[in-house]
Structure 1
């Protein structure tokens, strides 16, 4: 019994033990689960923190890509003083006459003038301005290396400027500029001439650069040049009065305004009250301000010839001046004329001396319009909240127009290179090398280069910032490919040109790949220009990236768009890459594969051919039912404005109503085979006068298009909506010449080539004779020049057209 009594006790004890163990196990389990949950939580938080860190670092990386240079070897290796023959030049195309070096820290020199009696209403001439309304101005001859001579007509005076260089020494050598002023009214009217020296904003305090005047001689010093002198030596004529000032200007863009502020009224025995240069009050107010602008004003009696002689201390060879200058200029002129005829054979082709003279001026203005710029663009990507500066860089480039576009434009430069390369492959490759060194790590090049304060001051704010989503036609790539194809002897192994092309290739490949990555369309083998934006104000939203600005595209920008011109550009780009790779003995398969795919006419027709209109066209969300209406603003103070009204809903469709340049691109860039039936259709429509054909060249848009010569906003006149453009007419002539060689359409292509060439050349030359200028565009109705002038960018391709060089 006792045992039995003990049994329950043992059981009870045992149960108590089990109970205690169970409780302990629960505690341990709870702690374990808690620890496990905490571990999971910590891991989760760690992962989240890690992901946030990765996101932030990735975002930071993506933010920096837009202004990070491509990590390949630079194409431009030798620069500045390392290329002495090219060091000095007329590299300031935005002023009527100026000299500077190809050095970011170069002093600049230039000319201003004004009439003594008419200064109140004509003002001071300095920067090239359309509003100055000069009868003509521009280079008559310019070889890009040794000399140039220019005529500026500003009645009652003609001003001829020229320069010669004497390269050598350790600091760039000497140069002499001559200013020859004559009266056109036979009355020897006095003129006020100003020659100045100035330091760029990059030559500010702390870099040991300065300017001053001693005994009527402009003196200066920079780290790159050492000490230099600028003597003003009258060669012919009389100086009536002379004055100068040592001043501070806040930037090169305000030199004329600064000059105005320095003028003081003085008495003169023959002229009564005379404006002369006085001291700069700003220098007196601020003792820390340094002299960076020295103008020297001369009141001269015409005819008057002044030699401006720049010399450095280290170069013992005397500069060219006086009668020696006259003889040397005459010899260089003869050499230029001989080389021009050898290159283009225009006299041999039967052109008159007057026409040949215009062609020389056209090409010389292209060469003389080459500038040297330094600075940083403003760029933006989707990952940057605000615009950021590109890296500071130099750009050696031709400009489209000295008066209106005195800066670099990417697709323009491709057309420029066709003419420049015919004259000097060295200059063309140098320009292309500078452009390609602007590639960022993504393979993108800003399409408009606004470098330095002089360039920036002349650009509306809305066009300053460049988006890294924005393309521009890869014409520069095509031009390099053209040079390689037509001048293979330049690129033999171990030649300097081959070395340049070797360094170019990785950059060309990165640029080409950027297009393939960023400009792809939704459909296979389709492409779409980015950057279109429907603001509700434009009748048809612009496509600035295409180069054709307001050319009508789909009325409602969308991701489904397919642009036929861009697809053709990519065909030509792949072909150019294959050509360059082949010469460099590199793999060509991937480029040829893309070229052949984009050259497949069935694929092209599937995406862009309209059986209904028998034309090629863009595809997108489109309606022709758009018009302008005047809308009252919600703010009574703002009044009313003109906006776009859509009267018919848009549908996905081919934009067949916009027959024009875009419709021709499969022919223009030689995508179509000579046997193509579609090529025959294009040629059939090409010479119809109610469409694109005019006595002055091919119109940019058909006369039957709803938007022919229509404004795009209340304030934007038509641009690519019917006017005749020389660059596309050049492409058309090159294509017609190509298709006239063989195939069933050869005879028609040949006849069209002959007629179109005659129309384009005759009109451009006759307008130059009538007005003294080449123009940005020409009317399809009467042939008159329009847009900006002088436009000696791609309109100068008339020289190649005259020479049958394509």
Structure 2
């Protein structure tokens, strides 16, 4: 079947949140029926200074305006919708939950007006953000609806910058960036003339993809970890294990939180394993070091800083609630008696 027979109807949600010192505000005038045109936010933090964030649609976008009961919802169609919420400290990372709750709260009363399942309005007409903001919001979401291919740009402009970004600048910069990547890849990972491969193009494409994925998976992680210094299996109970080196057997039992830790690291998988993993990082750095040696040394330095006074470092760096949400509870605790 062609794409014409099954057109894409897409809801895209961009969100931004801020924790700690500073704030962020919606500059664009609110409208209970949605917003036409760009949406702008302003904010400030001690580290970033003053800044603005703009969400701008592409010229060729087609909004969703057709569907069952479109005439009833015409005043809200073809527009962007938003919500501004107040998230408690440490909870901005749960933005998906806040956003889903807002959409369902908005959709519930509308859906109740259409008890017949075959007469419910098109999903894009009711599963919308409510166009409401609360005072001192620190979490904002912008929802857009598209029919088919789309583009929208999110611009971050620092007040210290002398020139604002725009779509034309990005369109011109992307080809230059791709060309720069290709040139750097060729210089860092040359293929020997003696290398026998039947499909050189496929090899090069695959190699660039895994390099990009590895570099794109580098991130900064911060939060507490869970360790259990006194854990031992029954068959280890007779062993005199002196982890602290104070001449006595460690008897402390139970998992405890560490002080907050920071780690700049690559990850085994951005989608499935988004955390630092000691066993993998050596292999990661072999590749990253070829691409950018200084970058690999920055990562190595952070891992070395996590080594404690006894020479131990947790093999999985599950730092903070967000990281722990991706790990089954039975695997969250790190044990110094293990490698």
**If the TM-score is normalised by the length of the shorter chain, which range does it land in?**
0.7 to 0.9
1:421 aligns with 2:266: no
Superposed counterparts of 1:510-549, under 5 Å? none
Cα distance in structure 1, aligned partners of 2:288 and 2:23: 36
Match of 1:193 in 2: 12
Q: Which has the higher helix share?
A: 1
Match of 1:213 in 2: 26
Match of 2:70 in 1: none
Match of 1:385 in 2: 253
Cα distance in structure 1, aligned partners of 2:287 and 2:23: 39
Cα distance in structure 2, aligned partners of 1:305 and 1:418: 36
Distance 1:241 1:274, change over 3 A: farther
Shift of 1:221: 2.4
Match of 2:277 in 1: 409
TM-score normalized by the length of structure 2: 0.74
Match of 1:254 in 2: 94
Match of 2:153 in 1: 307
1:228 aligns with 2:80: no
Secondary structure of 2:59's counterpart equals strand
Cα distance in structure 2, aligned partners of 1:305 and 1:388: 46
Cα distance in structure 2, aligned partners of 1:234 and 1:242: 10
Match of 1:376 in 2: 224
Match of 1:47 in 2: none
CA contact (8 A) 1:253 1:457 kept: no
Deviation per residue, 1:10-34 (Å, 9 max, x gap)? xxxxxxxxxxxxxxxxxxxxxxxxx
Larger Rg: 1
Deviation per residue, 1:549-599 (Å, 9 max, x gap)? xxxxxxxxxxxxxxxxxxxxxxxxxxxxxxxxxxxxxxxxxxxxxxxxxxx
Shift of 1:365: 0.4
Cα distance in structure 1, aligned partners of 2:309 and 2:261: 15
Q: How many residues align?
A: 276
Higher relative contact order (CA 8 A, sep 6+): 2
Superposed counterparts of 1:517-666, under 5 Å? none
Cα distance in structure 1, aligned partners of 2:333 and 2:259: 14
Structure 1 unaligned regions, length at least 5? 1-155, 157-183, 472-806
Match of 2:144 in 1: 298
Secondary structure of 2:164's counterpart equals coil
Distance 1:272 1:189, change over 3 A: closer
CA contact (8 A) 1:252 1:453 kept: no
Which of 298, 309, 333 does residue 430 from structure 1 map onto? 298
Distance 1:347 1:332, change over 3 A: farther
Match of 1:317 in 2: 163
Match of 2:182 in 1: 337
- Per mean C-alpha deviation after superposition, the further-off stretch among 372-381 and 270-279 is 270-279
Cα distance in structure 2, aligned partners of 1:347 and 1:299: 49
Cα distance in structure 2, aligned partners of 1:347 and 1:291: 56
Shift of 1:235: 2.7
Cα distance in structure 2, aligned partners of 1:455 and 1:280: 30
Secondary structure of 1:277's counterpart equals coil
Cα distance in structure 2, aligned partners of 1:261 and 1:193: 16
Match of 1:60 in 2: none
Which of 310, 325, 328 does residue 457 from structure 1 map onto? 325
Cα distance in structure 1, aligned partners of 2:203 and 2:143: 38
Cα distance in structure 2, aligned partners of 1:225 and 1:467: 38
Which of 399, 406, 426 does residue 267 from structure 2 map onto? 399
Distance 1:463 1:280, change over 3 A: farther
Match of 2:173 in 1: 328
CA contact (8 A) 1:347 1:353 kept: no
Distance 1:190 1:389, change over 3 A: same
CA contact (8 A) 1:341 1:347 kept: no
Cα distance in structure 2, aligned partners of 1:193 and 1:451: 29
CA contact (8 A) 1:241 1:300 kept: no
Cα distance in structure 2, aligned partners of 1:388 and 1:272: 46
Secondary structure of 2:127's counterpart equals strand
Which of 119, 125, 128 does residue 276 from structure 1 map onto? 128
Cα distance in structure 1, aligned partners of 2:86 and 2:338: 39
Cα distance in structure 1, aligned partners of 2:42 and 2:164: 17
Superposed counterparts of 1:25-104, under 5 Å? none
Cα distance in structure 1, aligned partners of 2:124 and 2:316: 49
Deviation per residue, 1:645-668 (Å, 9 max, x gap)? xxxxxxxxxxxxxxxxxxxxxxxx
Match of 1:364 in 2: 212
Distance 1:219 1:300, change over 3 A: farther
Distance 1:454 1:252, change over 3 A: farther
Cα distance in structure 1, aligned partners of 2:171 and 2:192: 26
CA contact (8 A) 2:81 2:131 kept: no
